[in-house]
Amino acid sequence: MFADRFKEHLEWAEGRRLFPYEDSVGKLTVGVGRNLDDRGLRESEVTFLLQNDIAEVLDECQRLPYWDELNEPRRMVVADMVFNLGFSRFLGFIKTNEALAKLDYHEAAKEMRDSRWFRQVGRRARKLVRMMQSGVWDA
């Protein structure tokens, strides 16, 4: 009973925020007064967030018309890009998506390489391009 009333009070006092913000003393805060600067996140919370993010990304990837035709390494490439960029920005890789729809993996890798994203994410992008070209897992 007390815990329920305490929760209700904290939500009233702190508010509920789905996006990080700076509190009244400049601390990065999220949720119901979670001070990220001083408390951060527990390992279990990070795992929970990651599991939710992965489920959302894979649901979005299912909407791609070529998804079922990709082998697992190439699926990981696409899923990684959706995770990194967001689904709508990934769809903005028009030539990459067109090549994937034709199952032209060499062209898809070429288009990935010819992007600002490639220059921004460095070794991650280089690994993903190699995997897209080869269709095999890259260590």
Give the pLDDT band of residue 135 (cuts 50, 70, 90): very high
> Would you call 126 helix, strand, or coil by DSSP?
helix
- Which domains, and CATH codes, for the chain? 2-35 (no CATH), 65-134 (1.10.530.40)
- pLDDT of amino acid 80: 98
The average pLDDT across 123-137 equals 97
Average pLDDT over residues 105-125: 97
Which single residue is written with the structure tokens 């391009």?
129
**CB-based burial, 67-102: b 16+ in 10 Å, e otherwise:** beebeebbbbbbbbbbbbeebeebeebeebbebbee
pLDDT digits (tens, 9 = 90+) for 74-83: 999 999 999 9
State the chain's mean pLDDT as an integer: 97
pLDDT, tens digit, for every residue of 48-96?
999 999 999 999 999 999 999 999 999 999 999 999 999 999 999 999 9
Token pair in block for residue 59: 């649901």
Element (H, E) at 28: strand 28-31
- Looking at the chain, the whole-number percentage of residues with pLDDT higher than 70 is 99
Question: What local confidence, expressed as pLDDT, does residue 138 receive?
Answer: 84
User: Mean per-residue pLDDT for 35-59?
Assistant: 97
